[in-house]
A = this chain, B = another copy of it.
């Protein structure tokens, strides 16, 4: 009986996947604003109302694509970073940086969906929280490894005590890392995504040609900010 029920549910899962696949292709070509449920239905040979059996609204489809985007980016970061020797902390950092940047320029619309302006009212936060921290978790392990290996030069400044309640959430991500280093890592994180956002969103157009080279240099400087020795 489970077999027959799964027969039904399997068709449903397949159609759901087909919808998201087509939607992702539309997203890649038209952007988030051009994503149309009717166009997806048309391409599937369905009538538009049938889509609503699978996604109750356009925003729900977008939310599914957002989660997929987080996972795709997170997986790209994990995979690239895993290829670098564990002791090469600077190399791991640079691998993370280039993975983020290359995924962003390769999938600009998906990047815009997850790191650009939030398109609908708001996406469901609880559903996305597992997928969204995959990339930052990689940085956390990296920082933790580097610190415990003594490869991080301690910053001169102290972490402001009034930020204590805010920094506790990061202790799980970077076990053993002192607070002032955590704040520097977070600052570096914003540098990384600030750069990629600038590039993906066209802020470097007619300004910087050798994007990868400039990015590489900037991320090396940023590595120095975290205290990762060359």
The answer to whether B117 touches A162, judged by C-beta atoms less than 8 angstroms apart, is no
Cβ contacts under 8 Å, A159 to chain B:
217
A163 to B220, CA, bound (A): 14
The answer to whether B221 touches A183, judged by C-beta atoms less than 8 angstroms apart, is yes
Cβ contacts under 8 Å, A183 to chain B:
214, 217-218, 221
> Is A22 located at the chain interface by the 8 A CB criterion?
no
A190 to B217, CA, bound (A): 13
The answer to whether B201 touches A125, judged by C-beta atoms less than 8 angstroms apart, is no
Contact stretch, chosen from A6-14, A41-49, A81-89, A205-213: A205-213
Cβ contacts under 8 Å, A214 to chain B:
163, 166, 183, 186
The answer to whether B191 touches A190, judged by C-beta atoms less than 8 angstroms apart, is yes
Number of copies: 2
Which of B202, B207, B217 is the one whose CB lies under 8 Å from A160?
A: B217
The answer to whether A221 touches B213, judged by C-beta atoms less than 8 angstroms apart, is no
Binary B-proximity of A179-208 (CB < 8 A = 1, otherwise 0):
000011011001111110110011101111
A183 to B213, CA, bound (A): 12
The answer to whether B117 touches A209, judged by C-beta atoms less than 8 angstroms apart, is no
Cβ contacts under 8 Å, A50 to chain B:
none
A207 to B182, CA, bound (A): 14
Which of B109, B169, B191, B206 is the one whose CB lies under 8 Å from A191?
A: B191
> Is A144 located at the chain interface by the 8 A CB criterion?
no
Cβ contacts under 8 Å, A217 to chain B:
159-160, 163, 183
Cβ contacts under 8 Å, A193 to chain B:
194, 197-198
> Is A16 located at the chain interface by the 8 A CB criterion?
no
The contact sample of 25 A-B pairs, CB cut-off 8 A, is A33-B119, A109-B117, A113-B117, A117-B117, A117-B201, A118-B202, A122-B202, A125-B205, A157-B221, A157-B224, A163-B210, A166-B213, A184-B221, A187-B195, A187-B218, A187-B222, A190-B198, A191-B194, A192-B194, A193-B197, A193-B198, A197-B197, A222-B225, A224-B225, A225-B225
